[in-house]
Amino acid sequence: MQSWIDSLIAAGDFGKNPPRDLVYALFIFGLSAVVFLGVAFPFAGIVSWVERRVWARIQSRVGPNRVGPNGSLQWLADGLKHVFKEDIIPDEADARLFKLAPYVVVLGFVLPWAVMPFSSALILADLNVGILYFTAITALTVVGVLMAGWASDNKWSLIGGIRSAAQIVSYEIPAGMSIFPVVLITGTLSMQGIIRAQAWEPYHWFLFSNPFCFVAAIVLYMSALAEGNRTPFDLPEAESELVAGFATEYSGMRYLLFFFAEWGNMFIAGALITTLYLGGWQAPRLSSSPVVMNVLELLSFNVKVLFLVFTSMWVRATLPRVRIDQMMSLCWKFFVPVAFINLIGTALWVAIWPGGNPVAGYVMFALGLAIAVLFIRRVMYYLKRSRMEMYLHPTI
Amino acid sequence: MPLGVFIFLAALAVTSALGTVLQRNPVHCLLALVVTLLAIAVMFIGLGAVTVGFLQVIVYAGAIMVLFLFVIWLLNLQAELRTSPGYLALKALAGLLCAALVAELFTLLWHAPTAGGAQAAAPPGYGSIEKIATMLFSDYLISFEVTSVLLLAAIVGAMALARRAPAPQHASPQAAAADGPARPEGA
C-alpha cells in the first residue's frame, strides 16, 4: 500500500514535492471512509434484516417481508426512521457524557476493521501485534457502555452498564486465554502470520491441530457471544428485567448506534475466530493470477465469517437468556479453568511436537466431521417433523 | 514520532491529567484518566514500543472499568459534589510531595543525555514481543517472579476476604426463610 502511494507521489500525481505525511493521511482517511461507509455500516444494517428473517424462520414466523424484495430494504427504512426521530436527552442526564457514549461504542466497532485480514493483500495494516489490538479495542468498548449507563441517570441504565462491565471484564479472561494457544503454536501475534501458518485444508486449521485447540475455539466462541452482549448472554439489555438496559434513555440515531455496534461486532468476533482457528482467508491455489487468488481468498474468509455470524443468530433464536449469577459462575467456575487447561495443554503439546502433529490433525478432523454429521442428522429428524413449507420457501 | 504528533499527545495527556485532578465529579475524573492513559499508550506506539502500548490499553482500560465500578458503588456522588472536604494539613503535605516530585523530574531531565537532540537509533527488534519476553524471562526474572508472588498473595487475600463464614449450625431453614432472601452473614 505504502509503496503504491510512493510510486504515485514519484509520478507527480500530487504536484511537485507534496508533503508526504499529508498524502498518506489523505489516503488513510479516504480508505477508511470507503471501508466504513461502504462495508462496515451497510453490513451492520443488512445483518439486522437477515437476523430478523432467520429468527422468524427458526420460530416458524415470516419476519419482515414488506419493504423491498423479501423485505431486504427493511434496514434502510429502519435507519431513515431513526434519523427522523427526536433526539431526547433527559434533564437529569449528564448531557456531555450522554452524547459521547454512543460514539465510544461505535469506535469499538469501527477500529478493528483496520487489522481485518480479508485476503493475503487486502488488509489495511498488518500490525505485528494484531491480536493484541483486537483485545485492546474490546476493553475500550465497555467504557462507552458504562458511560451510557451512568450518564442516563436511570437505575435500569446503570444496572445494565454495570452488568456489561462485569460481563466483559470476566469474559475477557477466557477469551484472551483462548487466543494464546494459537500464539503458542505460531509464535506470532500478527493476523497474517497466524493465517499463513495454516492451510486451506480443514485438517490444517488450528481448530483441529490438537484437542486443546478444539476446546479453546469453542470457549472463544462463547466468550465472544458474551462480550458482544448476544443472547443467551445479553443481560446488559435484558428487556424483561431492565427495559432496554444501558440504552433505556436513548432515542433516535443515538439508540441505533448502539445496535449498529452490536451487529457489526458479530462480524468482528467471527473474523477473530476465523483468523485464529478456521484458516482465515486460506483458499486452494486454483489460479496463478494474484487477482483471482485474492478474490478466492476474500470469498473463503467471508464464507467462514458469515457462517459464524449465522450460528450466532441461530443460538440467539434458540436459547433462552441465562441469569446473571449463572452467567458469572459459568465464566469463573468453568470457562476460566478450562481455558487455563487448554493453554497449558497446548504448551505441552508444542513442547512434545514442536512442528505440530499431522496425524492428530486428521484424527481431530474426522472427529469434527462425525460430530457435524450426527448434528445434521438430528436437525433433519426435526425438520421432517416440522412445517416443511416454511423451510422450503425461503422467500415467503 | 513527528514532533507535532508528540506535542499534540503530550498536551492531551497533560490537560486530561489536570482534568483528573481538578474536576469535581469523580466519574468525569475517571474519564479524564482514560484519556491520559490512552494518550500515553499512543505515545508508546509512536516510539516503536507497540506491544507495551497495546498492553497499556488492555491493562489500564480493564483496570479503569473496575475503578469506574468502585466510584459508582462506593462513593456517594451527590455528597461528593456538594461538599468541599477540608483536610488542610493533608493538602499541604500533598503539595509538598508534588513539589518534591517535580524537583526530582527536573533534576533527572537536567542530567539526561541529549546527544545533540538526536534520538539514539532503535536496535533491531526494539519493542517487539520477542524482545520483551526474552528480557522478562532473563534479565528481569526475579522481579517478574516477585510480581507474580505479589499477585498471588492479592488473589489469596481477596478470596479470604470474600469467603463467607459458614452458616451457624443451629439456624433452621425456617429461620433463614424468615430472614428473607438475604443469607445470614457471619452471625
Nearest to A161 by CA among A256, A229, A67: A229
> B69 and B144 in one domain?
no
Residue B105 inside a domain? The answer is no
**Residues of A whose CB is below 8 A from B27:** 94, 97, 150
Q: Is the pLDDT of residue A326 over 80?
A: yes
Instruction: List, for residues B65-114, the tens digit of each pLDDT value.
Output: 677 766 766 666 665 555 566 677 888 888 899 999 999 988 888 877 66
Give pLDDT, residue A390. Answer: 59
| SS3 assignment, position B140 | coil
DSSP string, A29-49: HHHHHHHIIIIIHHHHHHHHH
B157 part of a folded domain: yes
In-domain check, residue B94: no
Could you give the CA distance from residue A159 to residue B91 in angstroms, rounded to a whole number? 35
Using a CB-CB cut-off of 8 Å, the residues of chain B touching A146 are 65, 68
Going by pLDDT thresholds of 50, 70 and 90, the confidence category of residue A1 is low
Residue B22 lies in a domain: yes
CA distance A316 to A230: 7
d(CA A32, CA B130): 31
All cell numbers assigned to A83: 434519523
| Average confidence (pLDDT) over A384-391 | 66
B185 located within any domain: no
Contacts of A94 in chain B (CB under 8 A): 25, 27
Identify the pLDDT of residue A172.
Answer: 85
Q: Are residues B18 and B81 in the same domain?
A: yes
> Rounded CA gap, B31 and A337, in Å?
33
Q: Mean pLDDT throughout B120-144?
A: 79
Comparing C-alpha atoms, which of B78, B80, B6 is closest to residue B42? B6
From CA A103, how far away is CA B3, in angstroms rounded? 29
Q: Residue A169 is placed in which grid cell?
A: 471484564
Q: What CA–CA distance (Å, rounded) separates B95 from A111?
A: 40
Higher pLDDT, A371 or A34: A371
Whether B180 shows a pLDDT value over 60: the answer reads no
3-state DSSP assignment of residue A380? helix
**Residue B48 included in any domain:** yes
φ/ψ of residue A386, rounded to 5: -115, -175
Residues within 8 A of A (CB atoms), B 36-55 only: 50-51, 54-55
Is the Cβ of A390 closer than 8 Å to some Cβ of chain B?
no
Higher pLDDT: B113 or B26? It is B26
- When pLDDT is cut at 50, 70 and 90, the band that residue A15 belongs to is low
AA letter at A56: A
**Inter-axis angle of helices A130-151 and B26-46, to 10 degrees?**
160
Q: List, in order, residues 6 or more apart from A21 with CB less than 8 Å away.
A: B2
Residues B145 and B79 in one domain: no
Instruction: Show which of B29, B51, B85 is a domain's final residue.
Output: B85
pLDDT score, position A388? 63
A146-160 pLDDT, tens digit each = 888 888 888 888 888
DSSP three-state, residue A72? coil
How high is the ipTM of this complex?
0.75
Distance, in Å, from the CA atom of A182 to the CA atom of B133, rounded to the nearest integer, reads 17
* B149 assigned to some structural domain: yes
Cell numbers representing residue A223 in the block: 466468550
Q: Which domain holds residue B133?
A: 128-163
Taking each helix axis from N to C end, the angle separating A95-110 and A130-151, rounded to the nearest 10 degrees, works out to 160
- Report pLDDT digits (tens) over A258-276: 888 888 888 888 888 998 8
Cell of B183: 443469607
Residue B2, domain CATH: 1.20.120.1200
Going from the C-alpha of B172 to that of each of A166, B167, B169, the distances in angstroms are 34, 10, 8
In a domain, residue B169? The reply is no
Q: How confident is the model at residue A213 (pLDDT cuts 50, 70, 90)?
A: confident
Measured between CB atoms, does B95 come within 8 Å of chain A?
no
Residue A152's pLDDT is what?
83
Q: Domains in chain B: how many in total?
A: 2
User: Residues A61-94: pLDDT tens digits?
Assistant: 777 888 878 777 888 888 888 888 888 888 877 8
DSSP helix, strand, coil percent of chain A (3-state; round to 5): 75, 0, 25
Report how far residue A18's alpha carbon sits from residue B177's, in angstroms, rounded to the nearest whole number.
Answer: 79
Residue A230 in contact with residue A312, Cβ under 8 Å? yes
Q: In chain B, what percentage of residues exceed pLDDT 90?
A: 13
Distance (Å) from the C-alpha of residue B65 to the closest C-alpha of chain A? Answer: 7
Contact check, Cβ <8 Å, A158/B2:
no
Q: What is the CA radius of gyration of chain A?
A: 22
Q: Write the residue in B27, B28, B58 that is nearest to A139 by C-beta.
A: B58
Could you tell me where the DSSP H helices lie in A319-395?
Answer: 324-329, 336-352, 358-384, 388-392
Q: Are residues B70 and B4 located together in one domain of the fold?
A: yes
C-alpha cell at B157: 487475600
Report which of residues A238 and A223 the model is more confident about.
A223
Q: Read off the pLDDT band of A391 (50, 70, 90).
A: low
